Every structure is written in structure tokens, then in C-alpha cells.
Chain A
């Protein structure tokens, strides 16, 4: 038995898919513009069976994970540095804030000039997209830690290192995780863009190819895969939050 609110939430998307299938079947929505859901599923099956979809998916995932690892490490590290020290802020923050205003996707041509057309520009692009939200949220998370808690911990004899470990970093964690959520969205976005500009594998390449051969089914399929990946990563962050932020009001009361 599905709970009523969940049923209500599912009602609209499910009817939309139903309508989509119906209009496709009656021919009022031409296959060339938008392939019917049934066809997309068939295509998914075919491309999975012949290995094309899994291969390109793995390639894209690899780029996303590597880019995320590099960008997140840099973003969090620099965010912590400038969050914790005035000197760090003076040296880093103004620069990052300036660069942040640059629409980073505009850097794609420059990155291709610098790094060629291999894996490097793609991973670099993902790293760059991931870097900013994590840097900004780590910085503001650290600066937003309640002064009262810091005072209380100091009155318990905690030194600078102890404060960072027990008060500042745990206090900044919720904000860092918000940053991570934004970052994951931007990671996929950067990947879509770079893979369509210049790639010989990956989901973006699959889409670009499909456009050239007017394979609408593959296009729609790739979009659906992107959507599922987005959903999956969001669920992952939520899972991490449940563990790491179990102390928050909603979680603490639900858990006991």
C-alpha cells in the first residue's frame, strides 16, 4: 500500500509519461521530435546488451569521480584555510570570489587549447565546477559557527587545534554538505558540456553522435540516464547527511 502523499507526488510525472506514450502511439507526437517511452526502453535494452551504454557510462562516471575528488579536495582544503585564518582569507578569498564570477563553462575552449582533447580538460572542467560551491560553503560554514559555542569550548580549556576539531569543523559540516550537493549537480553539468564539445567516449559523446545521426531515442535515453545519475548522487548525499548529521533536530527526534 503506497502512502497517499507519495501517490499524489507520483501522479503528475506518471500521467505525463502516459500522455507522452499515448500521443506517440497515436502519431500526433512524431518519433523524430520525441521518441516514445516504450522505444526508449527498447533502445536502453539494446545498447546495454551490446555494451555501448555501460561502456560510455563507466567512462563518464570515471571522469565525474576523478574530477569530483580533485575539485572537492581543493575546494574544502582552501575553504578551510581561508575560513580559519585571516591571512588565508586575505590571500585566497578575494581571488576566488573574483574567479567565481567568471562563467566557468566559458573556459572550455581555453582548456582545450591548454590540455588538448584527451581526458585532462574534461576532468579539469569537472574539478573547476565542483571547486567553487565547496569552497564557498566551507568558508561560510566555518565563519558561521556560533561564537557562543567557541567561547564555551574555550572555557573548557580547548586550544586552537581542539577548537577546530571539536567545534569549527563539525559546525561547518552541514554547510559543506550543502556545497557538496551543488557540486555534484555542477559536476554532471560540466561533464555534459565538455563531452559534447570534444570526446570520443562518454554519455555526452553518445548524445552528440545521436544528434548527428538523428537517433532521437538515444538522445532521450542519454538524458534519462543523466537524470537518474543526478537522482542517485542526490540520494547519496542525503544518505551521508543522515549519518553525519544525526544530531540535528529532525534526525535526533526521529532516531530515538
Chain B
């Protein structure tokens, strides 16, 4: 398995990062959620953002997605961005294929939709209404809707949190496969430490409105949850999140 290009770049020259966040601040009313976050995601790199709920993970992601206005150079993204949210957020009044093709130029749209649905193995449901999809199918449709735009950066906001355990494992495998074939830069927001270790090249912990921990995950892929290296990383991250792995943990 070839190592992905990190910030230094494997080609001997520094590649331009896909996402650069510098000094990002956000507050709701008087409560500061993000107090100057600095984070860069390299081309083709997968970064997991961990943190307890309410720590500003989603706020960070919304800023990168361009859903909230940013000032100046807070967020720079090289190329286009697509988002997969925790809920599939498919438009219920459009068939699956029309959801996937939302906002695409008319020319060549049909083939793009077909290809994207085939990639997530949902071709058979193309003409169905979203309400008839299972949770996993709906999330796969959302994934197709993101990928069909050929984004340089894919943002995932707790993408598997609403799925059952088995579907979640399958989805993680699918996302990894798509990440590899498309050479995407990915930013995955999650509260699931295992998920972060399975997916990411690097895990950062959001803490007190800033990046509290930034650890590379250099385990060979595919990653085995039972390996001791996995366990060591898990303990390290959990401890940083305020949970003692052997019980008696502090509630984050």
C-alpha cells in the first residue's frame, strides 16, 4: 500500500494543500465555539476531526463547506467541495436519480448519475422515491450525490452515526474504496474513535475551540481493529477525549 502524500508531498516538491484553515473563529452569541483553528488537509489526505458533541466539529465543517460565511483567509479550499451529512438530506420530492443529479448541468448528466449510482451499488433504485430507501441506501445515495460532482474535497459530517453497526462497517469500507479510486481529500467529522482510526491518515482532536491533538495514523491498510497498534492509538485518542479506556472514565 503506497503511503498517501502528506503535507511534505511525496513527489519531492511541496503540493498545494486541498484545504487550509487558519485562525478560524466562530461564536454563537457570547459563547466562542472555535477560537482560532489552524488545520491543513493535503491532496488525497483523509483527516478525522474528533471531539465531544458541542465542541464545534460541525461548525468547522460548515465553514469549510461554505455553508456559513467566512471572513478573509480563514478557509481556503483548492477545488470544489462536496458534503455528506449525518442525515442523508435527500429531497423527498425528487427520485433518487434526480437527487443525485441536483444542480448538474444538463449535458451528460444522465451518464454521470448512472456512473455515480453504480459506484455506490444503487443503480436498481434510481427511479425510486427517497422515502422507500433504507437508512444505508439513503446514505449511499447521498454519497453518490456528493461524488457525482467530482469534488477535490469530500466533507463528511458524522456520516454513519445514524446507521446500524453492520451498515456502518459496510459504509466505511465503501467510503475508503471511493476515497482511494477518486484520490479525494477528506475531512471526516466523527465522535467515533474507531471510525477515525479505520478511515484517517491523521486524527485531530478539537478541544477548547482549537486543535488539541494532531496524530498521524500510520497503520497499514486495511486496518485491523484487533491489532495492538490500533489499541494503542485508540487509548491515546480516548484519553485525550477525557475517557479512560478501562472504565472509570470521565464523562466528556
Contact = CB atoms under 8 A, between A and B. Distances in A.
Contacts of B44: none
Given A148-B87, A148-B89, A158 B132 contact: no
Contact of B89 (A152, A162, A173): A152
B56 to A, nearest CB: 17
Interface in B72-113: 81-83, 85, 87, 89-94, 102-103
Contacts of B85: 148, 151-152
B145 A156 contact: yes
B147 to A, nearest CB: 12
Q: How large is the interface on A (under 10, 10 to 19, 20 to 34, 35 or more residues)?
A: 20 to 34
Nearest to B127: A256
B82 A155 contact: yes
A252 B129 contact: yes
B149 A252 contact: no
B161 interface: no
A248 interface: yes
Contacts of A154: 67
B129 A246 contact: yes
Interface string A155-181: 111100010001100110100000000
B91 A166 contact: yes
Interface in A82-98: none
B68 to A, nearest CB: 10
B196 to A, nearest CB: 22
B129 A162 contact: no
Contacts of A249: 131
A152 B87 CA distance: 10
B102 A149 contact: no
A157 B85 CA distance: 15
Contacts of B67: 151, 154-155
Contacts of B130: 247
Contacts of A166: 91, 94, 102-103
B65 interface: yes
A252 B132 CA distance: 7
Interface string B124-153: 000011111000000000100100010000
A47 interface: no
B160 to A, nearest CB: 17
Contacts of B66: 155
Contacts of B129: 246-247, 252
A151 B58 CA distance: 13
A252 B133 CA distance: 11
B149 A248 contact: no
A153 B67 CA distance: 10
Contacts of A157: 103, 149
A244 to B, nearest CB: 9
A243 to B, nearest CB: 12
Interface string A223-254: 00000000000000000000001111100110
A155 B65 contact: yes
Contact of A153 (B87, B102, B142): B102
A148 B85 CA distance: 9
A247 to B, nearest CB: 5
A154 B87 CA distance: 15
Nearest to B98: A166
Contact of A149 (B62, B81, B89): B89
A152 B83 contact: yes
Contacts of A162: 103
Nearest to A250: B131
B203 to A, nearest CB: 24
Given A157-B103, A157-B149, A158-B103, A149 B91 contact: yes
A155 B88 CA distance: 13
Contacts of B102: 153, 156, 158, 166
Contacts of A153: 91, 102-103
A184 B131 CA distance: 30
Contacts of B145: 156
Interface string B42-67: 00000000000000000000100111
Query: Which of B65, B91, B130, B142 counts the most A-chain CB atoms under 10 A from its CB?
Result: B91
A246 B93 CA distance: 8
The 3 closest A-B pairs by CB, nearest first: A152-B89, A252-B129, A155-B83
Interface of B: 62, 65-67, 81-83, 85, 87, 89-94, 102-103, 128-132, 142, 145, 149
18 contacts: A146-B89, A149-B91, A151-B62, A152-B83, A152-B90, A153-B103, A155-B66, A155-B81, A156-B102, A166-B94, A167-B91, A170-B91, A173-B93, A245-B93, A247-B92, A247-B131, A252-B132, A256-B132
